[in-house]
Amino acid sequence: EHVAAYFNERNTAVIGYDRSGHGLSEGKRGHTKNYAVLLDEIGELIRQTRGRYPGVPLVLYGHSQGGNLALNYALRREAGLSGIVATGPWIKLAFEPSGFLVFLGKLTRMIYPAFSQPNNLNADHLSTDAEVGKAYVADPLVHNRVTSETGLSMIESGAYLDQYKGPFPCPLLLMHGGADQITSPEATRDFASRLEGDVTLKIWDGLYHEIHNEYRQAEVLDAIWSWMQVKVIP
């Protein structure tokens, strides 16, 4: 909420959504039919936003899994965005996932893709501020599940980004916590180095995964706003 409030105070509308299987959206927790559905949901969000704010520059902002989705959407679906902001994007995980769990996911994906496992996310790794992790665990809309289809789709779409080399279709701001133990800052740095176009990279030394919930969050949001003023706002 504080992120939306920051931009609202600067005369910038923020429109979000709960993707399928998360938040207030319907469906099994942590499950989506396939990755294309996740991209379709973003497309619908953009369509509705353009209808509400015609002619206004539109920036797609995604964090973690959302960062993965924002980057893949720009590369695979649409080149008409005014900009992309991706923070802590899931290109690669910062740890090696259990080989057994990956094998189990691949096996059950063929038989029952909605098979659910714990996502094993350590809330202590979200922020250097322990209160952030406590609030995450206490949030009734937060769950700890991921299904075989969704988990493997995220790994595969991250691998696509990890192998991509070429043009990026709009101005891009990539930011990552240098001490992120959930998604890999090195993968984000490598991704940026392979792109052609207007790409800005900022690694925040010492910060964990949710840089917008860190002790330097004001600096993080100021950096996004400064980038938007230069790259997006006419």
Burial class, 166, CB count within 10 angstroms (exposed 0-12 / middle 13-18 / buried 19+)? exposed
pLDDT, tens digit (0-9, with 9 covering 90-100), for 190-220: 999 999 999 999 999 999 999 999 999 999 9
Residue 21 pLDDT class (50, 70, 90 cuts): confident
pLDDT, tens digit (0-9, with 9 covering 90-100), for 72-128: 999 999 778 999 999 999 999 999 888 888 999 999 999 999 999 989 899 999 999
| Mean pLDDT estimate for the chain | 95
Residue range 148-168: mean pLDDT, rounded = 97
Burial class, 68, CB count within 10 angstroms (exposed 0-12 / middle 13-18 / buried 19+)? buried
- Per-residue pLDDT at 26: 83
- Per-residue pLDDT at 27: 85
Q: What is the greatest pairwise CA distance in the chain?
A: 51
HSE-CB at 14 with a 13 A cutoff on CA atoms is: 13
DSSP for residue 93: B
- Per-residue pLDDT at 1: 86
Residue with tokens 């991509």: 164
pLDDT, tens digit (0-9, with 9 covering 90-100), for 54-76: 999 999 999 999 999 999 999 99
Residue range 173-179: mean pLDDT, rounded = 99
What SS3 state is found at 181?
coil
Cα separation of 124 and 6, whole Å? 25
- Per-residue pLDDT at 227: 98
- Per-residue pLDDT at 99: 87
Report, at the CATH architecture level, how domain 2-231 is classified.
3-Layer(aba) Sandwich (3.40)
- Per-residue pLDDT at 24: 81
The predicted model scores a pTM of 0.95
23 pLDDT higher than 90: no
Structure tokens at 130: 């322990």
